[in-house]
Amino acid sequence: MTVLLPFVINAGLNFALGLLIAYFLGPAEFGRYAIGAAIIVVLNTALLDWIRLSAVRFYSQKSREEQPRIRATLDVLSAGMTIALTGLLVAAVVAGVDFGLPVMLVAASVLGGICAGLFDYHGAIARARFLDAAYARLVIVKNVLALLLMVGGAWWTRDPTIVMFGGVVSIMAALLAVRRSLADAPLAWSAASRDLARDFARYALPLVGANAIYSLIPLLNRSLLADAYGFAEAGYFSLAADMGLRLFGTLAATLEIVMLREVLRLDETKGRRAAQRRIADNLVIVLMVALPVAAGLFLVLPAFEKLLVPVAFHGRFAAYMLLLLPGFVALTIFVGGLYPVFLLGKRTGMVTFAACAGLAANLALVFGAVAAGPERFALGQTVSFLTVLVITGWMALRILPVLPKLRDIGLIIVAVAVMAAAVWPLSGRLSPLPELLLQAALGAIVYGGLMLAFDVARCRTLLRLWLAMRKRGA
């Protein structure tokens, strides 16, 4: 499927991007960069992501033909928010507002948040219209240019502000590359509908509130950690957090994009119950992917750190990653498996409640476990994501008409344990590169073989059908 290609490339380039930027900036400057990157996420999530969510839920090829006001309203909202945020930034700079960070770094963060929102919105438009080639071009251009400009800026200047402006330029170039492919009609303020804008806001704002809280947790923890222990310690924490969020965030988004659009199509063609049954089946797939990836990262972490992580971050990176890993798994399961339940049923208030509980759990650990030292910030983030998973999981399973197949879930857990038992003895036996490659290959063979042998989530059956279709086509 063409839509999978950009995510494979995106995952690899994002990993390389974060590691290379950390290598050239060093712990302290990377800590400043990480706080700016967290500001980007918060701005995008809190102020612009509601437009993307509305596009995912209300815009499609059918609505494009029958209700052109939907796209016109989305375009006007996107343009209006961009103009408003840019104006606020200019006014704040002219007024001399003290941000606590260099002014240009804050400006780059705000512009980065605006561009990130526009990027996500246009990506949602491409997926809604099944324009997989345009979506692939959007993602690939952005990531390739980001790798060149951001890493080049870090190498040349060692300045996090220049690095962030490189990200802004890469997104703007990607949007220009797909402008004609994704256009419906010229922007016209009069074509927008106030009623539709209010409907979008009512639908998306509870989700936006929840997502804003999720994005606020990393920013809050990084800022407090830098204030208490310095920017270098914030850099150690942020590299592990960013690498985990890039890997598992990309994994979750891939699962969501590939499976959610089929859920929405079933809801439109066969009804709500059929769509909910598909969500229950998809939960098994999410677990089948997320659990072995997490276990695999845990097993290869010593070799991974020695081989790929900058020397200045050694030791602290692995320590933080071990604490953060359970939270990343929880986030993947929520986004890829549980989030569609609330999106489909428009019960977004429940997600906001879970996010508030997660934030409260994070703050309780950050301020209550002072004796734990800087590690309490990683523990707080992990506990917050686990809290969200428990609450939303309990709610989602009550909503779904059927439960995920317990046989398949049990087999996944057993297969992960067998994989771990096979790979664990290799740890520390070889030099980093062959050890990492051997561990990854052995883990994939053991786990994949067990999944096929027991036909978990019908993977063996689907593989046979695919091979038969290929043979027939040939």
Q: In 10 A of CB 376, how many CB atoms?
A: 23
| Over residues 220-248, mean pLDDT | 91
Q: What are the backbone dihedrals phi and psi of residue 298, each rounded to the nearest 5 degrees, phi first? A: -60, -40
The closest of 421, 405, 249, 261 to 335, measured between CA atoms, is 249
What pLDDT does 443 receive?
94
| Over residues 313-318, mean pLDDT | 93
Q: How confident is the model at residue 53 (pLDDT cuts 50, 70, 90)?
A: confident
Quote the CA–CA distance of 65 and 305 in Å, as a whole number: 51
* pLDDT tens for each residue of 131-143: 878 888 888 899 8
Token couple for 263: 């859920």
Q: How confident is the model at residue 5 (pLDDT cuts 50, 70, 90)?
A: low
| Over residues 23-39, mean pLDDT | 91
Specify the DSSP class assigned to residue 46: I
Q: How confident is the model at residue 351 (pLDDT cuts 50, 70, 90)?
A: confident
Quote the CA–CA distance of 13 and 224 in Å, as a whole number: 29
Q: What is the pTM of this model?
A: 0.84
Quote the CA–CA distance of 381 and 366 in Å, as a whole number: 9
In the chain, what are the domain boundaries?
1-192, 207-411
Does residue 146 contact residue 166 with C-beta atoms inside 8 Å? yes
| Over residues 57-70, mean pLDDT | 79
What pLDDT does 7 receive?
59
Say which amino acid occupies 376. R
What pLDDT does 391 receive?
94
| Over residues 115-120, mean pLDDT | 92
What pLDDT does 30 receive?
93
* pLDDT tens for each residue of 194-203: 888 888 888 7
Higher pLDDT, 295 or 11: 295
Specify the DSSP class assigned to residue 373: T
Q: In 10 A of CB 214, how many CB atoms?
A: 23
Share of the chain above pLDDT 90, in %: 45
* pLDDT tens for each residue of 412-425: 999 999 999 999 99
Q: Is the pLDDT of residue 8 over 70?
A: no
Q: How confident is the model at residue 346 (pLDDT cuts 50, 70, 90)?
A: low
Q: In 10 A of CB 179, how many CB atoms?
A: 10
Q: Is the pLDDT of residue 427 over 90?
A: no
What pLDDT does 434 receive?
92
Instruction: Locate all alpha helices (DSSP H) within 312-431, ordered by sequence.
Output: 316-333, 339-345, 348-368, 375-399, 406-423
What pLDDT does 11 receive?
65
| Over residues 219-224, mean pLDDT | 91
Q: Is the pLDDT of residue 44 over 80?
A: yes
Burial of 64 (0-12, 13-18, 19+ CB in 10 A): middle
What pLDDT does 199 receive?
83
Give the total residue count for the chain. 474
Higher pLDDT, 7 or 168: 168
Quote the CA–CA distance of 69 and 75 in Å, as a whole number: 10
What pLDDT does 319 receive?
94
